[in-house]
Amino acid sequence: AEAYNEAVTSAKSLNAFILETPDHALAAAAQADADRVSGDLKPLSGVPLGIKDLFATKGVQTTAASGILKGFEPVYESTVSARLFAAGAGMLGKLNLDQFAMGSSNETSAFGNVISPWRRSDGGNAAITPGGSSGGSAAAVAARIAPGVTGTDTGGSIRQPAAFTGITGIKPTYGRCSRWGIVAFASSLDQAGPMARDVRDCAIMLEAMSGFDAKDSTSLQLDVPKWEASLSSDIRGKKIGIPREYRIEGIPEEIGKVWDQGIDWLRDAGAEIVDVSLPHTRHALPTYYIIAPAEASSNLARYDGVRYGNRVAPDGGSLADMYEATRAAGFGAEVRRRIMIGTYVLSAGFYDAYFNRAQKVRALIARDFEHVWNDCDLLLTPTTPSAAFALGEKSDDPIAMYLNDVFAVPASLAGLPAIAVPAGLNSEGLPLGLQIIGRPLDEQNVLNAGL
């Protein structure tokens, strides 16, 4: 109880949780005791996890950190959370995030920003962002409030916050984890994954979360490998590609340094380092910021004040007035920006110039990766182009914010598994991360190299 109270206080000061659900976690703990007695322990028996508030949890408020869903209690459980609970885990609470998972700093949440437990060693006490969109998830693990949490990653939302907070997170191959019951952002990109202190914990969680689900039409009909049992730090003979297009001009020197450090680590472990090229890399970010808002604008059409969430109906107004008032009141500024970009690029006059073009470039980016696997088994890159920044530092500059995702989105567009692992601290004492990208379905080698 003492540890729990301490964790609650700590959680409150970071604003990591939108809702605490201690009874759920305690019930799982009691069940774990019973299972131990009957010799029936499960992989996650009694483990208190945090669940990103993008996962529908039956009878428990699910908001996507948006005003439009405040108070919404789903009548069903997302497949991923249901599987974690079936594996014995309990839920500490629903974790804060960027509104509808749109953001890189957790500042677009309608429930207030999350504060990272990290501080700059020299820079006074400026509050630092944990990253986003899985900012509450990252902060909860980094502050040791939860040993593991769920995240979702559309264009970096597991990997970037993991890098910013010195923890580990993996986005599996698109289709490994069911999207059923996860509030949709950009359906062709959205993937759930675990965030935890280390690779092994991620492997254990990912095994429980993955697997075919008939309720998601893009779910892969494949058995879940025994990732944890097959974990091995032996990467001798593996070819690690270093994509030269990721050496972007203008990014801080410390990012290049941590990358070189990672190259040395893998070489010392017996891997072969090869220089490779992914020629379309520089088009990935603009492509992502067309495709993701386009899909979002379509997915978010369902929040109309009728089917889901909250309604604002002006007296004597028409149906259109109700839609307008509901959506204006319920969606935050970043969400409205994405809807406007999305509807613009999908509109009849601009569809070919933007959306169609972006789809073609996406195919080229995916092809870059297909070719690169002839030359290497895995790719090593930095996770982010900088360490975590202070709250407010980029909130008025969407482009600067979007640049955070520059190393994360290529793997998202290609649907590839990618892990973010901590790689030390910068000169200000803030964490930096490295990313390992693998072939489709090759989570095992991604995890092994991360180990």
Residue nearest to ligand GLN (CB): 157
Catalytic site includes residue 347? no
Cβ(25)–Cβ(82) below 8 Å: no
Catalytic residue among 78, 109, 137, 157: 157
Catalytic site includes residue 133? yes
- Maximal CA-CA distance, the chain: 73
Least Cα distance to 188 among 36, 280, 290, 333 occurs for 290
Please report, as a single letter, which amino acid is at residue 300: L
Between residues 157 and 435, which has the closer beta carbon with respect to ligand GLN?
157
Tell me the closest approach of the beta carbon of residue 102 to ligand GLN, in angstroms: 5
The token duo for 237 is: 């003979």
Between residues 99 and 445, which has the closer beta carbon with respect to ligand GLN?
99
Tell me the closest approach of the beta carbon of residue 296 to ligand GLN, in angstroms: 8
Contacts of 250 (CB under 8 A, 6+ apart): none
Catalytic site includes residue 134? no
Between residues 46 and 156, which has the closer beta carbon with respect to ligand GLN?
156
Tell me the closest approach of the beta carbon of residue 165 to ligand GLN, in angstroms: 15
Between residues 238 and 394, which has the closer beta carbon with respect to ligand GLN?
394
Cβ(157)–Cβ(151) below 8 Å: yes
Angle between helices 357-372 and 284-299 (to 10 degrees): 130
Which string of DSSP letters, residue by residue, matches 193-235? Answer: EEEESSHHHHHHHHHHHBS--TTSTT----PPP-TTTT-----
Tell me the closest approach of the beta carbon of residue 98 to ligand GLN, in angstroms: 7
Distance separating alpha carbons of residues 440 and 451, to the nearest angstrom: 19
Distance separating alpha carbons of residues 137 and 195, to the nearest angstrom: 7
Catalytic residue among 66, 81, 105, 133: 133
Q: Cβ of 230: how many Cβ atoms within 10 Å?
A: 12
Tell me the closest approach of the beta carbon of residue 42 to ligand GLN, in angstroms: 30
* Residue 277, CB-side half-sphere exposure with 13 Å CA sphere: 2
Between residues 376 and 408, which has the closer beta carbon with respect to ligand GLN?
408
Place of tokens 């039956």: 58
Buried-exposed string 49-72: b where 16+ CB fall within 10 A, e elsewhere: bbbbbbbbbeebbbbbbbbbbbeb
The site for ligand GLN (CB under 6 A) is made up of 101-104, 133, 153-157, 185, 292, 405
Between residues 87 and 141, which has the closer beta carbon with respect to ligand GLN?
141
Beta-bridge mates of residue 93: 20, 50
Tell me the closest approach of the beta carbon of residue 76 to ligand GLN, in angstroms: 22
Tell me the closest approach of the beta carbon of residue 8 to ligand GLN, in angstroms: 27
Between residues 134 and 445, which has the closer beta carbon with respect to ligand GLN?
134
Active site residues: 52, 133, 157
